[in-house]
Chain A
Amino acid sequence: MNVRATVTEHSPVIEPTWARVEADFYVGSRAGEFLGYIDGKGGGAFRAYDTFSRPVGEFDTVRDAMHAVLAATSNGSAL
């Protein structure tokens, strides 16, 4: 009897790296590829930019702005 094993290979998930350059300015990258950045505008507003430095929106928290940068990349709107 032949038994054929099916092996499914999963690409390793590479988490993005977020770095603070100065207070309220963050840059995202993944495996050396630039994802976008976040610039705090004061008053609790954070403007997010995609990989082409195009604005993708303004958010109340850094976390929301980070999600917007990642979404812009994964949606392909920044590719």
Chain B
Amino acid sequence: MAPETQMVTETDRPTALLSAVYASVATREFSRDQLDDLLRQSRRNNGASDVTGMLLYRDGRFIQVLEGPEKTVRDLLAVIKSDPRHEKVRVLLEEHLTERTFADWTMGYEPIRVPSSPVAPGFRDSFDDLESDDDPTTTRRAIRELTLWFRVRAASGS
């Protein structure tokens, strides 16, 4: 009798890399010092658990990209969801990766300048699109735009 064949899925592989993007709302406005504390804590924990990513904060709203071993990222999401410093945690996108986008950052952060005027007609707002649009195509586009912006700012050291 032929041996039973088992299908191996991505989730069965202990080393499968998962990227998860979530949006949330701060329960209180974060000062720069509080953000620095959050980033220090995040980078320390992520460095020890092989998680990389990027954090964005604008007007009391967070968007975070987490990437790492699938189980680690899922466990971390569960912890994040119970963190009282924010609420309305909504996972926007999960996908498996072949390589990391933020390999060099245990938690990359660049201060984002809040636009002083509404976005001009005909333009999208990446941050708003991520928060308000459930369409995966829009979500992926907005994440790519924010990732590009982050890389440009990180490279220029501003």
Contacts and interface: CB of A to CB of B under 8 A. Distances in A.
Interface string A17-35: 1111111111101001010
B143 to A, nearest CB: 11
A64 interface: no
Contacts of A26: 123
B116 interface: yes
A29 B141 contact: yes
A27 to B, nearest CB: 4
5 contacts: A20-B120, A20-B126, A21-B127, A25-B149, A27-B126
Contacts of B152: 25, 37, 39, 53
Given A27-B148, A29-B141, A37-B152, A22 B123 contact: no
Interface centre among A21, A24, A26, by most B CB within 10 Å? A21
A2 B122 CA distance: 49
A27 B116 CA distance: 18
A39 B148 CA distance: 11
Interface string B127-158: 10100000001001110111011001000000
State the 5 A-B residue pairs at the shortest beta-carbon distance, nearest first: A19-B124, A21-B149, A27-B145, A23-B115, A22-B113
B112 interface: yes
Nearest to B127: A21
A19 B113 CA distance: 15
Contacts of A53: 152
A25 B151 CA distance: 13
B124 A17 contact: yes
A19 B140 CA distance: 13
Contacts of A24: 113
B7 interface: no
A63 to B, nearest CB: 10
B37 interface: no
B149 to A, nearest CB: 4
Given A21-B149, A23-B115, A27-B144, 6 more contacts: A19-B124, A20-B119, A21-B126, A22-B113, A27-B149, A29-B144
A5 B100 CA distance: 53
